Amino acid sequence: MPTRTTRSEKLDLRLTRDAKRALQAAAAVAHRSVSEFVLESALARADEALADRRTFGLNSAQWKAFMAALDAPPRPLPRMERLLKEPGFFDAGPNQ
C-alpha cells in the first residue's frame, strides 16, 4: 500500500481571469482538480528544468575521460596560491 505524504506547504499565486479559466478547463479535461492539475504540471516542468542538473549520461570514452580528470592531480595555480597567502581586507589592523 503506497504511503501518502501530507501536504503541509501552501503556494499562492496571482493570475488573470483568462489564465484561471484556461487552468480550470484543462483540469476538467484531465479529470483533476485545479490544484492537482497545477501541481502535477508544475512538478513536471520543474523536473524538465532540473533534469540536466541532476544527472548526465556519458558514453564509455567520456566516462574514462571524466574519471581521468577526477583522478588527475590538481594543476598548479600560482595566482591562486599568491592570493591565499596575501593578507585579506579584514586581516589589516584597525590602524592601517
Least confident of 18-22, 49-53, 78-82, 91-95: 91-95
DSSP letter at 71 equals H
| pTM exceeds 0.75 for this model | no
**Grid cell of 58 as nine digits:** 556519458
Compute the radius of gyration of the chain from its Cα atoms.
26
Name residues whose C-beta falls within 8 Å of residue 26's C-beta, 6 or more positions apart in sequence: 37
Among 70, 17, 23, smallest CA distance to 42 is for 23
Among 43, 41, 4, 9, smallest CA distance to 22 is for 41
Q: Using one digit for the tens of pLDDT, what is the confidence trace for 28-85?
A: 999 999 999 999 999 999 999 998 787 888 999 999 999 999 999 999 999 999 999 9
Domain ranges of the chain: 17-88
